[in-house]
Amino acid sequence: MDSASNDVIVRVDTTSRSYDVHVTPGVITRAGELAREAAGGENAFIVSDTNVAPLYMDQVRTSLEASGYTTSQFVFEAGEASKRASTWAACLEAIAAAGLTRDDVVVALGGGVTGDLAGFAAACYMRGCSVVQVPTSLLAMVDSSVGGKTAIDLEAGKNLAGAFWQPRAVIADPNCLKTIPQDLFRDSCGEVIKHGVLADPSLFDDLESEPLTSEGVPAERLARVIARNVEIKRDVVNADEQERGIRQTLNLGHTIGHAIETASDFALGHGTCVAIGLCAIARAAAAEGICDPEVATRIERVVDAHGLPTDTRLPHDVIVNLAMSDKKRHGDGVNVILPTRIGKVEIRRVSMAEFARLVDEGCGTARIGFAAEDQSQSSVN
């Protein structure tokens, strides 16, 4: 906590760069000041999408200009379908046309797609210029804006082209969550639950006792949960910046989840698919004797309580085939993250045949119903 500004700050110290994550209601109004302190430069190039730009572009641009920046912007069509090479190339061309140098700053204003796209553009422009992340979704605040992973999707799969490029600062304003649709907020809770299963039984207990999707969640609790999630990711990233070891644990639920997300043609949100993948791998771990069945049951119940689906009816061969194109595959196998108890996981290298067995044990085997019938039907896609 910064006593001068009452700004909640989480410090990230990686091998390549150290930076602050600011988690405080109203902090977006200080975007220019914080970007100036962290990144410097004369020009600020704002990247946003068609959903977020009408809400926050003017506010952020005004703040940047008040701090001495000359601003320009690039706005793309909202949605995962835009996280492709064509949009990324158009963004780079716009950055170049704006006359940025490697001493200037790209400001990523939006959710995970914007942060990934803008971060990757900054990583590549003139072999790397500064980026400041201003996440406006819960998913981006607790996950994608922190840690330096940037990427775009290819036809073969999600996030297959990208770079590790740490931001100069992250400006996460919980007030922005008031303007996102409830279904997007609910989707984001998948990553929050994952962090509790991964590393923090107390966080999981908190989510179990009162879901974040309950009515009237105090802003103070939301800010506290966001900051705790950032701390969990910070600790992992600090120890393993480029995912050679422990950082792979952040992929809990992702191998199955990414396959479901791709199979749905991204109609299902990332957090929703992570939640399904988390439940599926927990059921498989229980079937293998790696965790107690009660662990899987508790995870299912918390996911269900947040209004998220706990299973998929997608054919198992489709999941396995899509996982073979996942960036986490290694040779003829894949590293899977398995929960051993709430707050503890292990990394295990398995063959694709063994992975297929885990899919059989975990998918289509839920012991409690889907959160809602429409979600269960969409999970089939």
Asked whether 118 and 91 are in contact (CB, 8 A), the reply is yes
User: If one looks up domain 182-378 in CATH, what number appears?
Assistant: 1.20.1090.10
Sorted by sequence, the CB contacts under 8 Å of residue 204 that are 6+ apart come out as: 193, 196, 197, 298, 302, 342, 343
Structure tokens at 220: 């103070």
- Position 77 scores a pLDDT of 98
pTM over 0.95: no
Residue numbers annotated as active site: 127, 149, 191, 233, 243, 247, 251, 254, 258, 270
Q: What is the pLDDT of residue 379?
A: 39
Tokens of 358: 């885990």
CA 344 to chain centroid, in Å, comes to 20
Tokens of 243: 């995912």
Mean pLDDT split into 10-residue runs, the chain, 381 residues: 64 95 95 98 98 98 98 97 97 98 98 97 98 97 95 91 97 94 94 97 97 88 94 92 88 95 92 97 98 97 97 96 73 90 96 96 81 39 33
> Which residue ranges does the chain devote to CATH 1.20.1090.10?
182-378
How much is the pLDDT for 306? 97
pLDDT given for residue 112 in this prediction: 95
Residues 6+ apart with CB under 8 A from 66: 32
**Alpha carbons 9 and 28: distance in angstroms, whole number:** 14
- Domain 9-179: which CATH number of 3.40.50.1970, 3.10.20.30, 3.30.1600.10, 3.40.50.1110: 3.40.50.1970
In the chain, ranges of CATH 3.40.50.1970 domains: 9-179
Q: Which amino acid is at 179?
A: T
Per-residue CA distances from 45 to 59, 151, 309 (Å): 14, 18, 38
